[in-house]
Amino acid sequence: MPTARGDARGPRLPVLLAALCDRLPVDRILALESVLKTVGDPDDPVLSRFIRAQPAAGLAGQLVEITHAWRTEASGITGAGLALALATSRSLPRTTSPQVVVSGPASASLPVRLTSGVAVEVVRSARTSLLIASFAAHGALDVVEEIDRAVGRGVQVDLVLEESTRASTAFAALPEEVRLWHRTGAAGVMHAKFLAADRHTALLGSANLTDRALSDNIELGVVLRDPATVEPLVDHFRWLLSPEHGLMRVQARGGAEGRRR
């Protein structure tokens, strides 16, 4: 169970609600709030079914602990009342602590999230720019479709890819304004894997943008939501892409290599 904002020595329910808000994206919290508004008490079968249906490692246990605290500390509160408390917690500033992300088998040892869902969430959070690096890419249609949506809302997208793996083919259907970058030199490879939304959120880890890496392989990563940490990472890659250094070139859409930019 993650450490939440507040004093854990007092009532547990507020602490547990804050921890849940620190863990989950807003859309998942809103889904829980919608369910809570329809239930009368912590033993309602509707809530029990919702908890059992949660696939993220440790999340069902976290929700069970919340229902236990609800039952023992605030049994007079209705589900609608708890939804209001959750909405209040959601409105407070979110934690900037790194969150663990995994692919493959997920244990209950850590409050982790799955790489596939987090990658989509990070892309979806971009409003002005999206910087993505991957050694290999194949499939990952959910991520590719979310990138396409980002372009549609005016986000500038740069994909930094390893040419030898033909990673660019996974993004062939994206609009022409998406820039695909490759190294200009022969020494070494582009082996980094990360997604950065604007300058506020980044996903770093071992997973490439492939179906197996996002879901089946045993992969590990972290989500950073601290701009003070994310900004230097983005600046480093912007430096790599800058024309005066000649380290990267833009691939002309259609397969031929474009001029150095």
Q: What is the model's pLDDT at position 180? A: 97
Quick one: tokens of 171?
């993004």
Strand pairing report for 156-161 and 129-134: parallel
pLDDT in the model for residue 2: 41
DSSP annotation string for 85-113: HHHHHHHSPPP-S-EEEEES---SSS--E
The predicted structure's pLDDT at residue 97:
75
Q: Is the pLDDT of residue 31 over 60?
A: yes
Sign of the C-alpha dihedral computed for residues 42, 44, 47 and 51 taken in this order: positive
Q: Is the pLDDT of residue 1 over 60?
A: no
Alpha-carbon gap, residue 35 to 105, rounded angstroms: 28
Among 9-13, 93-97, 157-161, which stretch is predicted with the lowest mean pLDDT?
93-97
Total-model pTM: 0.67
Q: What is the predicted pLDDT for the residue at 4?
A: 43
Compute the distance between CA of residue 110 and CA of residue 207 in angstroms, rounded to an integer: 19
The residue with greater pLDDT, 28 or 184, is: 184
pLDDT tens by residue, 196-246: 999 999 999 999 999 999 999 999 999 998 888 999 999 999 999 998 999
The arithmetic mean of pLDDT across residues 26-37, rounded, is 90
The domain locations on the chain are 12-91, 99-260
pLDDT beyond 60 at 258: no
At 92, the pLDDT band (50, 70, 90 cuts) reads: confident
Tell me, what's the pLDDT at 5? 45
Q: How confident is the model at residue 111 (pLDDT cuts 50, 70, 90)?
A: low
Domain 99-260 architecture: 2-Layer Sandwich (3.30)
